[in-house]
Structure 1
Amino acid sequence: MLFLLQVDSSKLVNTIAQQPQTMNLWTLLNKGGWIMYPLYVLLAVAIFVFFERLIAIRKASRIDANFMHIIRDNIITGNINGARNLARNTDNPVARIIDKGVQRIGKPIDAIEKSMENVGRIEMYKMERNLNILSLIAGIAPMFGFLGTIVGMLQLFSAIASTGELELGEIAGGIYTKMITSAAGLIIGLLAYVAYNFLNTQVDKTANRMEIASAEFIDVLQEPTR
C-alpha cells in the first residue's frame, strides 16, 4: 500500500512539473524577438495619430445650431458686417466657409460658390491630414509580423540543421513563440484599420454639415430676389 502511494505521488509530481507555466502578457510578447520593437513603435504612432485626429475632428464638428439662423437674419436685414464678424469669430470649418461667402457678397453666385468650395477643400485637407498614416500602419503592421515569424522560423531550422537534433517539443515551442509576431502584427493592423475608418466616418459627417451650410447660405443670398 505504501509503495502504491509513493508511485502515485511521484506520478503526480511529474505531471505537475510537465504542465506549462503560465506567462504574463509582457513575457509572452518578449518571446517575439527584436521584430516586436518596430511593432511597438507602429502601435504607439497609431494611438497618437488616432487621438490627435479625433480631438481635431471633433473640434471642427462643433457647430452652433443657431449659427446659420443668425447669419441668415443678418444678411436679410442687410447687416453684412454682423454676419462677417460672427463667422470670423467662430472657429470651425463651416464658419470659415460662410465667412468666405460673406466676403464675396455682391459677386455672381457662381463666383461665390467657387470661393466657398475652395475653402471647403482646404478644410477637408486639414481634417484628413495624417489619416493616411493609420492606413499605412494597417497595411505594414501585419507584414512586419509575418516577417518576424519567417525570420524566427529560419533561425529555428538553422539551429536544427547545425545541431542535427530533431525534437518535436522544441520545434513546436519555437514555432509557437515565433507566431507571436504574426498575431501582434495582425492585431495592430486591425486596430489601425478600424481607427482609420472610424475617423473617415467622422470627417464625412463634418463634410456633410459643411455642404448643408453652404447650400443654406446660397439660398439665403437668392431669397431676397425671389
Structure 2
Amino acid sequence: MQEWTGFLAAVRTGGWVMYPLSLLAVLALTIIIDRAYVFMRFAHVPVNVLRSTRLGADGSTPTWAASLSRLAAHNAFNRMSEPWLPEPAAPLWLREASSQSVAAQIERDMSRGLWLLETIVTAAPLLGLLGTIVGMMRSFQLFGGNGLVDPGGVTGGVAQSLVATAIGLVVAVFALFAFNYFSRRLDRLMDELESFANARLNEMRLARGNDGERP
C-alpha cells in the first residue's frame, strides 16, 4: 500500500506532463491487449495444415481444408484458403492474384494499431523531455538576484523533471518491446501464409499435370 501511495505521489510530482503520458500509457496497454487477443485468436494454425500437401481421397476435398474448418471463420489461414478451394473453372493466375489481395488485407487487419504503438515509442520520451525542461525552468526561476530564494521549490522542480523523464522512458520501452514483438509475429504470419499459398499452388499444378497455366 505504501508503494502504491508513493507511486501516486511521484506521478503528482511530475506535473501536467503526466496527463498526456498517462494517456499514452493507457493507449499502449489497450493496443497491446487487443493485438495479443487478435494474434492468439486469428493467427493460430495447426501444424499439419502447413505440412499437408495432399489432396483428399476423393480428389475434391483437400486434407488441409478439413483442418481449417475447425478454426475461427476470420482466422488468417481460413481467409487465405478461399482462393484455393476446389473450383475447376478458376485459372491458376486468378487464384494467385486473389491470394495476394487476401494477404494484403490480412496484413492490414493484423497490423491495425501498430502505427500508434510505434508513435508512442517516439512520443513518450519527447513528452518526458518536455517535462524535464519545464521542471528545470521552474527551478531556475526560483533563483533571485540575492541567491537561492526557495530551496524546497528548486528540489520540487528537479523532482518533477526526473519523474517525467523516467515515466516517459518506461512507457516508451514498454511500447517498444511490444511493437517489436508484434511486428516480428506479423512477419512470421505472412511467411507462413506465403508458404501455405505456395503449397496449394504446387498441389494444383501437380494435379493438373503441368508447370502452371500461361495467360
Fold shared by both chains (TM-score > 0.5): yes
Give TM-score, length-normalised by structure 2: 0.81
8 Å CA contact 1:84, 1:103 repeated in 2: no
Unaligned runs of 5+ in 1: 1-22
Partners of 1:42 and 1:109 in 2: CA distance? 47
Partners of 1:72 and 1:212 in 2: CA distance? 15
Q: Which of 180, 197, 203 pairs up with 2:180?
A: 197
1:132, distance to aligned residue in structure 2 (A): 0.6
Partner in structure 2 of residue 51 of structure 1: 33
Provide the secondary structure at the position in 2 that maps to 1:73. coil
Partners of 1:73 and 1:104 in 2: CA distance? 13
Partners of 1:116 and 1:157 in 2: CA distance? 62
Return the letter of the residue paired with 2:171.
Answer: I
8 Å CA contact 1:101, 1:115 repeated in 2: no
Partners of 1:198 and 1:135 in 2: CA distance? 12
1:54, distance to aligned residue in structure 2 (A): 1.0
Q: Which has the larger radius of gyration?
A: 1
Partners of 2:130 and 2:45 in 1: CA distance? 46
Unaligned runs of 5+ in 2: 211-215
Q: Which of 130, 140, 148 pairs up with 1:166?
A: 148
8 Å CA contact 2:129, 2:165 repeated in 1: yes
Deviations 1:81-111, CA, capped at 9 Å, x for gaps: 9987875774311121111222664333222
> Percent of pairs identical after alignment?
23
Return the letter of the residue paired with 1:24.
Answer: G
User: When you count helix as a share of all residues, which structure comes out higher?
Assistant: 1
Return the letter of the residue paired with 1:139.
Answer: T
8 Å CA contact 1:100, 1:115 repeated in 2: yes
Q: Which of 8, 18, 41 pairs up with 2:23?
A: 41
Matched, 1:26 2:8: yes
Matched, 1:154 2:137: yes
Partners of 2:168 and 2:129 in 1: CA distance? 8
Partner in structure 2 of residue 64 of structure 1: 46
Return the letter of the residue paired with 2:59.
Answer: G
1:182, distance to aligned residue in structure 2 (A): 1.0
What pairs up with 1:3-152 in 2 under 5 angstroms? 24-67=6-49, 72-74=54-56, 77-80=58-61, 90=71, 91=73, 92-102=75-85, 105-152=88-135
Partners of 2:22 and 2:109 in 1: CA distance? 27
Partners of 1:41 and 1:69 in 2: CA distance? 45
8 Å CA contact 2:13, 2:156 repeated in 1: no
Partners of 2:87 and 2:141 in 1: CA distance? 72
Deviations 1:6-27, CA, capped at 9 Å, x for gaps: xxxxxxxxxxxxxxxxx82221
8 Å CA contact 2:111, 2:186 repeated in 1: yes
